[in-house]
């Protein structure tokens, strides 16, 4: 099978979150299922610098404001198709934000171009290669179904994966012409959303199949409190929606061989890594669990609840080391807390190697998200025997077995879940965490359970391959 993955980011080339990890891991995982997946990416500077063996396979005289080329090549073991359009992508900053932290004003056109090129490759092929399936990711690929329909091609199937429905990719109706959209399709059954253009809604209604990144999140998307205004659309597409749990690259995230941690090897255990992590963060010895947070600092991630509830953890001898960045109010709140509390240490920013050392050295990881489509940090943590304390939502609910009395009696628990997602509930979870930590026999059993959990891509890749196969087999 030939599949073109249409994505705005892909690890390790360009990454702002879990979408990049998924886009980077899927091609290799699917190759084991007989699927040839190429990745279509914008030609950001980092992508262009990494592209090897590049060959021009298509040329566009006017790609949303300027000339462009489509290049085919490889980078980091990935087969890539890269849109070389300097007027759209050759810029400083991240894939979406200018250096001043604001969205690029032409983001609608920048990612419409990504979708438009995807449809062109599907319709006409490029470099002698033509996909049977277009697999788009989030709103940045949402318009591919509109453009593909306009070509008249009907033998290419489409899949849209929702990584986070909170981002709709909306823009004003005054851009319909500049986005090359059919004005007659500006209605509630296509890309119109409350008088605006919604790239995500276009994809949700136009794709042959929809997936999201955990079974529970698939259910939650049909609820008003999680559907972000598109729950009605999701209910209408219920029959086409599948929740396929994300996985992680167990070759990169392997405590026995991880070169990014200081003291590694399965025989050495967690103790030397924990001591090294405390030293790195300047934390003293403590009787309670060493907890970590590796996260974007946003309201979605529930970190304001941690600020409220953390005194309970500290009172029970616990510690916190945080790595992340995001909303200025949360950053400042944790900075102040670290200045006041010697058992709290904070690093603002992101450091991939440090995140590995935190997984290896911590006793527990905190993921108190108000909603979480899948989450990857709890999967990394499970792999390293770092027990997740998570909110009962989305993929967190699907991947962590709560330390309930029944699960503890059966010896299957892998972490702690809490609900509702409030500061009081988190306080209770901290008390449970500290009690479990004192029972080293139970704690050790939970660590062994965590490390035995299947967190790789094998089962998920098989599910995607079966979905593609079903779609291709349809008349």
Between CA 80 and CA 433, with CA 214 as vertex, the angle to 5 degrees is 120
Residue that has been written with the tokens 């005289």 in this structure: 61
CA–CA gap between residue 345 and residue 216 (Å, rounded) = 33
d(CA 467, CA 211): 10
Residues 309, 449, 287: CA angle, nearest 5 degrees = 45
Q: What angle do CA 303, 414, 30 make, to 5 degrees?
A: 90
Residue 266: the pLDDT is 45
The three-point CA angle 378-344-262 to 5° equals: 60
- Blockwise average pLDDT, block size 10, the chain, 475 residues: 98 91 94 97 98 96 98 97 98 92 95 98 97 98 98 97 96 98 97 98 98 97 96 98 94 89 61 93 97 95 98 98 96 97 96 94 98 95 98 97 98 98 98 98 98 95 97 83
What is the rounded distance in angstroms from the CA atom of residue 158 to the CA atom of residue 142? 10
Residues 6+ apart with CB under 8 A from 73: 51, 52, 53, 54, 55, 80, 82
pLDDT computed for residue 263 by the predictor: 55
- 15 annotated to bind ligand: yes
Task: Judge contact between 386 and 359, C-beta under 8 A.
Answer: yes
Ordered DSSP codes for 65-129: SS-EEEEEEEETTEEEEEEE-HHHH--SS-SSB-TTSSBPTTHHHHHHHHHHHHHHHHHH-BTTB
What is the Cα–Cα distance from 457 to 471, expressed in whole angstroms?
A: 21
Domains of the chain, earliest start first: 2-247+458-473 (3.40.50.2000), 271-452 (3.40.50.2000)
pLDDT value at residue 26: 95
Q: What is the pLDDT of residue 264?
A: 47
């Amino acid at each position: 099978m030939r599949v073109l993955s249409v994505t705005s980011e892909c690890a390790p080339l360009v990454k702002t979150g879990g979408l990049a990890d998924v886009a980077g891991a899927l091609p290799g995982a699917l190759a084991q299922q007989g699927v040839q997946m190429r990745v279509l990416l914008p030609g950001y500077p980092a992508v262009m610098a990494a592209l090897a063996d590049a060959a021009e396979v298509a040329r566009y005289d006017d790609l949303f404001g300027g000339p462009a080329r489509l290049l085919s090549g490889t980078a980091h073991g990935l087969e890539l198709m890269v849109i070389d359009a300097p007027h759209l992508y050759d810029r400083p900053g991240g894939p979406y934000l200018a250096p001043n932290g604001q969205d690029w004003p032409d983001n609608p056109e920048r990612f419409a171009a990504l979708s438009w090129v995807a449809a062109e490759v599907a319709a006409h092929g490029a470099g002698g290669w033509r996909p049977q399936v277009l697999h788009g990711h989030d709103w940045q690929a949402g318009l591919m179904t509109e453009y593909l329909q306009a070509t008249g091609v009907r033998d290419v199937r489409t899949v849209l994966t929702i990584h986070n429905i909170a981002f709709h990719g909306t823009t004003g109706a005054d851009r319909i012409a500049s986005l090359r959209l059919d004005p007659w399709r500006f209605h509630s059954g296509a890309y119109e959303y409350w008088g605006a253009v919604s790239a995500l809604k276009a994809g949700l209604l136009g794709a042959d199949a929809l997936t999201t990144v955990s079974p529970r999140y698939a259910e939650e998307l049909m609820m008003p409190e999680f559907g972000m205004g598109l729950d009605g659309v999701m209910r209408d597409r219920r029959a086409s929606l599948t929740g396929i749990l994300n996985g992680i690259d167990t070759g990169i995230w392997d405590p026995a061989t991880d070169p990014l941690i200081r003291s590694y090897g399965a025989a050495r255990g967690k103790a030397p890594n924990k001591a090294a992590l405390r030293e790195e963060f300047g934390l003293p010895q403590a009787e309670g669990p060493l907890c970590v947070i590796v996260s974007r600092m946003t309201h979605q991630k529930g970190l304001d609840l941690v600020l409220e509830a953390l005194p309970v953890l500290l009172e029970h001898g616990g510690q916190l080391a945080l790595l992340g960045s995001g909303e200025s109010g949360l950053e400042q709140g944790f900075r102040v807390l670290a200045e006041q509390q010697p058992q709290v240490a904070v690093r603002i920013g992101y450091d991939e190697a440090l995140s590995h050392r935190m997984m290896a050295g911590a006793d527990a990881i905190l993921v108190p998200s108000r909603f979480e489509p899948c989450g990857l940090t709890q999967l990394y943590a499970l792999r390293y025997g770092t027990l997740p304390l998570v909110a009962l939502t989305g993929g967190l609910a699907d991947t962590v077995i709560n330390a309930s009395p029944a699960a503890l009696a059966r010896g299957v628990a892998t972490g702690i879940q809490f609900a509702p997602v409030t500061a009081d509930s988190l306080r209770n979870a901290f008390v449970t965490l500290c009690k479990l930590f004192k029972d080293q026999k139970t704690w050790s059993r939970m660590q062994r359970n965590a490390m035995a959990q299947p967190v790789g891509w094998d089962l998920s890749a098989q599910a995607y391959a079966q979905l593609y196969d079903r779609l291709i087999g349809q008349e």
